[in-house]
Structure 1
Amino acid sequence: MDDADHCAGGGSRPAPPRPSAAQVRRWRRRLAGERDAARIYRELAGLRSGQEREILLGLAEAEERHVAHWEALLGDDAGRPGRTGWRARTMLVLARTLGWIVVLALLQRAESRPLYERDSDAPASMAADERIHSEVVRGLAARGRARMSGTLRAAVFGVNDGLVSNIALVLGVIGGGASGPAVLLTGLSGLLAGALSMAAGEYISVNSQRELLAAAAPDDAARASLPALDVDANELALVYRARGMSADEARSRAAAALSGGRADGERRTGTGTGGADGSGAAGADVVGSGTAAALSSFLAFAVGAAVPVLPFLAGLAGIGAVAASGVLTGAALMLTGAIVGLLSGARPLRRALRQFAIGAGAAAATYLLGLAFGSAVG
């Protein structure tokens, strides 16, 4: 049988149809997106070390597997790797300037989109990969947020409190008919009073928490009594139960501390200053310094409270000063809201608008109160 007969008999497999121009364009977009994702993960890995670096490199390798899939589909149409897309370039700039947590929050949202769920050209394993990537990024972002949560909370809340309270104060006295110098004095007084109040509150809060932790820390004198305990009759297990362990676990910990090398058992079980529940000196270190917390709260509030006063400090007066103060404060409120949204993995615009609405509502309420008070006095 010659080749023609062989083909006619169906013995050869027909060549796959050439993809359409629309398919090629879509595959190229997929390929460019996966190449950008791999670059981002490798760039972030360069900013980290240890386990976080290894995890990010693992994500980059997974994205490169996806790159290979689209390159195989495209063949000669794949072309050489092009320039990084503008979104990826923006993320890399954010990573270098604002930190990797901001980029992880953005990537968390990107990875959570069902990109390949209904794409017949992508195997089910790629869609599953993307879902797993979303959880990996979520975990990394959660670790980063946990490390910076205290500082972030104090900074964002301090700035936001300064913005809302001082714009409300300024508009309240403007509604009451105060003159330009009176408005400026009121704004600066509100800045200083609020910042001092925030600093005092934070100082008292942190030091009170440190004192509570210190009161809960085990007594070092009790640790020195461990070698002298009667092995068959002692209350060591009650120490662990008092600190929240179950009866079985407390007995196990007590037996381990009393068996053989007691000094080693003491370190393992936490009979010393750390305590079984991790309280004590280590907990006090996590709380931080009351002075540092007070200073950061003072500065954060002062920065926010200065924004509504800036136009009046610059010499503006009348409706122009009010409009400028409102625009600056509104922009700052939206910025703080967007930052919170980014770091929490939520939609930045929604959080920005929510923050703006809260500030605008407070300012409108005090302005109307000032109008009513001014009319009653007049």
Structure 2
Amino acid sequence: MITTQRDGREPSARDIRRWRQYLADEQAEAAVYRDLADRRSGEERQILLALADAEGRHEEHWRQLLGPNLGSPRRGALRTRFLGLLARRFGSVFVLALAQRAEGRSPYQADADATSAMAADETVHEEVVRGLAARGRKRLSGTFRAAVFGVNDGLVSNLALVLGIGATGVPAATILFTGIAGLLAGALSMGAGEYVSVRSQRELLEASTPAAPAKSVLEHLDLAANELTLVYRARGMSEEEAESYARGVLATAYAATGPIAAVGHQAPEPDEHEAIGTGTGAALSSFCFFASGALLPVLPYLFGLSGYAAIIVATVLVGVALLATGAVVGLLSGGPPLKRALRQLVIGLGAAAVTYLLGLVFGTTIG
């Protein structure tokens, strides 16, 4: 039996190698989704298993094309195998974010040997994984946001402070104490500000949530007057919509067969508070991460370095940290990690360069 391409031509050795790689990649991707499913339950597990089944259909397509040329099993692409390792070890939102990018790089749109249905599947898979990753991002968004902002602010602000003071030529001890003061002042300010911000946001949401007594009096309302319509009109419904919806809610309450809490229509979803995070958690994250970021520019002076050596070491340490945090943000947001990392580096070092130049202008030469 001789396998032929979709256009009837006999496949070349290059075609066979490409098909085998596709098959290996599909097998590896299906394994990633199954590993992720093993760490989840309910609807997310079902979705991930359905994705694995879809990859299995794609596997079968390449098996049929290969026929007797199937050969020995090959390993999937390095990035897919890396995803599998992460899925087995962690099963986190980072893996879903990476999987989202992997689905978006599918070559099937430009490959005549892949069916249009397969190319469409891969496009839809990217959106499915994006949705799953969004759930994970929402669960950690509050505290994670505070952590990322904290560490970046610490890195940039204290590096700028240390370089600006260092460029004036003051003694290393002065730079060290200035850096420590900047660390404490910034960390305390970030923590306090984040606590007030998150607490205020939660209190605003809680103020919009229907009170418990309002839910308990439904069955006693006058069905003819039906003042419940005013509740829904106040929440944006037209008079007709509010009337219809309120009568349905009251009918349910009188029958005592449905959730009286239906008065909470258009109230915040239960997980909105989780997405925002707690004030204490956000404050601690901001404090700790700002302090950890602000500590890096001070380290060279803690270990006795001074002058240009300390400035260079501090800049390198902060640069590496900025690249790392930028890459992490890129992964979680589904964007290109390298682009986010370089953007973070340029912004951070650019701000520090400005204060360093000001220090040179108004200070003395470093000895």
Shared fold, TM over 0.5: yes
* Cα distance between partner residues in 1 of 2:87 and 2:255: 46
Relative to structure 1, the CA distance from residue 68 to residue 157 in structure 2 (aligned partners, 3 Å threshold; closer, same or farther) is: same
Relative to structure 1, the CA distance from residue 230 to residue 171 in structure 2 (aligned partners, 3 Å threshold; closer, same or farther) is: same
- Give the residue type in structure 2 aligned to 1:168: A
Q: Which residue of 1 aligns with 2:311?
A: 322
- Give the residue type in structure 2 aligned to 1:180: A
CA contact (8 A) 2:322 2:348 kept: yes
Instruction: Give the C-alpha shift of residue 109 in structure 1.
Output: 2.0
* Cα distance between partner residues in 1 of 2:244 and 2:275: 29
Give a deviation string over 1:145-176, Cα, whole Å, max 9, x none: 22222222111111111111111111010112
Instruction: Give the C-alpha shift of residue 21 in structure 1.
Output: 1.7
1:342 aligns with 2:336: no
Instruction: Give the C-alpha shift of residue 323 in structure 1.
Output: 0.9
Instruction: Give the C-alpha shift of residue 101 in structure 1.
Output: 1.8
- Say which of 171, 175, 179 aligns to 1:179: 171
CA contact (8 A) 2:21 2:76 kept: no
Instruction: Give the C-alpha shift of residue 121 in structure 1.
Output: 2.0
Larger mean Cα displacement after TM superposition, 236-245 or 162-171? 236-245
Classify the secondary structure of the residue corresponding to 1:244: coil
Give a deviation string over 1:240-280, Cα, whole Å, max 9, x none: 21133332332123223433643848834533xxx333259
- Give the residue type in structure 2 aligned to 1:326: T
**1:29-40 to 2 correspondences below 5 Å:** 29-40=21-32
* Cα distance between partner residues in 1 of 2:301 and 2:289: 20
Q: Which residue of 2 aligns with 1:4?
A: none
Instruction: Give the C-alpha shift of residue 224 in structure 1.
Output: 5.2
- Say which of 126, 141, 144 aligns to 2:133: 141
- Say which of 270, 278, 285 aligns to 1:289: 278
Identity percentage of aligned residues = 57
CA contact (8 A) 2:32 2:83 kept: yes
Relative to structure 1, the CA distance from residue 220 to residue 310 in structure 2 (aligned partners, 3 Å threshold; closer, same or farther) is: same
* Cα distance between partner residues in 1 of 2:325 and 2:290: 13
Relative to structure 1, the CA distance from residue 57 to residue 285 in structure 2 (aligned partners, 3 Å threshold; closer, same or farther) is: closer
* Cα distance between partner residues in 2 of 1:323 and 1:364: 12
1:333 aligns with 2:322: yes
* Cα distance between partner residues in 2 of 1:282 and 1:104: 20
Give a deviation string over 1:298-330, Cα, whole Å, max 9, x none: 111111111111222222222221111101100
- Give the residue type in structure 1 aligned to 2:282: A
**1:102-117 to 2 correspondences below 5 Å:** 102-117=94-109
Relative to structure 1, the CA distance from residue 14 to residue 91 in structure 2 (aligned partners, 3 Å threshold; closer, same or farther) is: closer
- Say which of 194, 198, 202 aligns to 1:206: 198
Q: If the length of structure 2 is used for normalisation, what is the TM-score? A: 0.88
* Cα distance between partner residues in 1 of 2:211 and 2:30: 53
* Cα distance between partner residues in 1 of 2:17 and 2:3: 24
- Say which of 123, 129, 144 aligns to 1:131: 123
Instruction: Give the C-alpha shift of residue 291 in structure 1.
Output: 2.1
Q: Which residue of 2 aligns with 1:9?
A: none
Relative to structure 1, the CA distance from residue 228 to residue 369 in structure 2 (aligned partners, 3 Å threshold; closer, same or farther) is: same
CA contact (8 A) 1:38 1:63 kept: yes
* Cα distance between partner residues in 1 of 2:216 and 2:22: 66
Give a deviation string over 1:327-366, Cα, whole Å, max 9, x none: 1100100111111111111111111010001001110111
* Cα distance between partner residues in 2 of 1:282 and 1:105: 21
Relative to structure 1, the CA distance from residue 211 to residue 139 in structure 2 (aligned partners, 3 Å threshold; closer, same or farther) is: closer
Q: Which residue of 2 aligns with 1:240?
A: 232
Relative to structure 1, the CA distance from residue 219 to residue 124 in structure 2 (aligned partners, 3 Å threshold; closer, same or farther) is: closer
Give a deviation string over 1:73-131, Cα, whole Å, max 9, x none: 22232123244543223212333556432222222222223512232222222222222
Relative to structure 1, the CA distance from residue 221 to residue 61 in structure 2 (aligned partners, 3 Å threshold; closer, same or farther) is: closer
CA contact (8 A) 1:116 1:122 kept: yes
* Cα distance between partner residues in 2 of 1:163 and 1:361: 12
- Give the residue type in structure 1 aligned to 2:292: V
Provide structure 1 residue ranges, at least 5 long, that are not aligned to the other structure.
1-12
How many residues are matched? Answer: 361
CA contact (8 A) 1:214 1:280 kept: no
Q: If the length of structure 1 is used for normalisation, what is the TM-score? A: 0.86
CA contact (8 A) 1:207 1:290 kept: yes
CA contact (8 A) 2:28 2:84 kept: no
Q: Which residue of 1 aligns with 2:113?
A: 121
Larger mean Cα displacement after TM superposition, 206-215 or 41-50? 206-215
Relative to structure 1, the CA distance from residue 14 to residue 26 in structure 2 (aligned partners, 3 Å threshold; closer, same or farther) is: closer
Relative to structure 1, the CA distance from residue 310 to residue 64 in structure 2 (aligned partners, 3 Å threshold; closer, same or farther) is: same
- Give the residue type in structure 2 aligned to 1:245: M
Q: Which residue of 2 aligns with 1:3?
A: none
Q: Which residue of 2 aligns with 1:373?
A: 362
CA contact (8 A) 1:156 1:336 kept: yes
Classify the secondary structure of the residue corresponding to 1:316: coil
- Give the residue type in structure 1 aligned to 2:236: G
- RMSD across aligned positions (CA): 2.8
CA contact (8 A) 2:156 2:348 kept: yes
